[in-house]
Structure 1
Amino acid sequence: MHSAARDHADIAGRADLDLVLRRFYTAAFADPLIGPFFTEIAGTSLDVHLPRITDFWERALFRTADYQRNAFAPHAALHSVEPMTAAHFGRWVQLWHATIDGLHAGPNAERAKAQGERIALAMLKRLSDGAPDTSGRQNLGFIPLAAVELRAAA
């Protein structure tokens, strides 16, 4: 763990998650690779999306929020309009790690990063199901090596 990470407190609750998610989605919306999924295809409003996704992550990390929504359905709808590939999910993981690492360090932060990777891999596998992507290559559900290298360097 680099020295700057030691200066960061762990993710302690909903207020911390709100800040992480606000920073993450601000970066994700602006990202040239994955931003269009939020801004153009889904037409997502951060103000509408943030409370829902904060509930999701609060439940995932602390089991304190009530999240009853189907997290897969909106991703499947987006995928039917514009296929999401390993590169898209890899970029999501990169931004997720960078956001968390920039704000927090500790067991909850590590769990959030690991959970994000598991969700990204599961979502990609479920969406692609080994089907060829638009380039004709077989999409086997791998996150790009850069995401793994980013995690290893943290």
Structure 2
Amino acid sequence: MRATRDISDRHDLDVLLRRFYGAAFADPLIGPFFTEIAGTDLEAHLPRIADFWERALFRTADYGRDAFAPHAALHAARPLTAAHFGRWVQLWHASVDGLHRGPRAERAKEQGERIALALLRRLTGPAAATEGTGGGFVPLAALELRSVA
């Protein structure tokens, strides 16, 4: 499928999130956080995360949950590193780029990078985003992934 249009509605978000989580669950680096540690039920998780992204991109959904708490619980079970967040952003960029082009798609990628960096800093301290934390956080705007499994 060739990316030809921007993210325009909740349906687009649902398709995008299914593509992203399919890749994330299968990824050897970050997949275990979803499948083994959190035991994420994708069907239960998708409506909540779609609310988050709908609010971020369209300002049309309510999202009043604490997005930090689940990540803190994961970090307590197995430390999340810059490499984990970097991989998340790589997969997010590839998923968005594989389906969409336009201002909202760019905003989704930028927002994903900001969220990943903020979570990393909050979980591990400000220096962890740039210093030796298991690979370092890669500025993913400089990377191009051609496909996602």
TM-score by length of 1: 0.85
Poorly superposed stretches of 4+, deviation over 6 Å: none
Match of 1:150 in 2: 143
Q: Distance in 1 between matches of 2:114 and 2:57?
A: 13
Once the two structures are TM-superposed, the CA of residue 130 in structure 1 deviates from its matched residue by 4.7
Match of 1:27 in 2: 23
Identity of aligned residues (%): 70
- Residue type at the aligned position of 2:36: E
Q: Distance in 2 between matches of 1:144 and 1:100?
A: 18
Q: Distance in 1 between matches of 2:127 and 2:31?
A: 24
8 Å CA contact 1:86, 1:124 repeated in 2: yes
Gaps of 5+ in 1: none
Match of 1:39 in 2: 35
8 Å CA contact 2:7, 2:102 repeated in 1: yes
Match of 2:106 in 1: 110
Task: Give the secondary-structure state (helix, strand or coil) at the position aligned to 1:77.
Answer: helix
Once the two structures are TM-superposed, the CA of residue 14 in structure 1 deviates from its matched residue by 0.5
The answer as to 2:86 corresponding to 1:90 is yes
Relative to structure 1, is the Cα distance of residues 54 and 86 closer, same or farther in structure 2, using a 3 angstrom cutoff? same
For residues 43-66 of structure 1, the C-alpha deviation after alignment (integer angstroms, 9 at most, x for no partner) is 001101100100000001111001
Gaps of 5+ in 2: none
For residues 13-66 of structure 1, the C-alpha deviation after alignment (integer angstroms, 9 at most, x for no partner) is 110000000100011000000000000000001101100100000001111001
For residues 104-128 of structure 1, the C-alpha deviation after alignment (integer angstroms, 9 at most, x for no partner) is 0000000000000000000000000
Match of 1:11 in 2: 7
Q: Distance in 1 between matches of 2:120 and 2:134?
A: 9
Match of 1:51 in 2: 47
For residues 61-94 of structure 1, the C-alpha deviation after alignment (integer angstroms, 9 at most, x for no partner) is 1110011100000000000010000100000000
Relative to structure 1, is the Cα distance of residues 71 and 141 closer, same or farther in structure 2, using a 3 angstrom cutoff? farther
Once the two structures are TM-superposed, the CA of residue 143 in structure 1 deviates from its matched residue by 1.8
The answer as to 2:59 corresponding to 1:60 is no
Relative to structure 1, is the Cα distance of residues 141 and 59 closer, same or farther in structure 2, using a 3 angstrom cutoff? farther
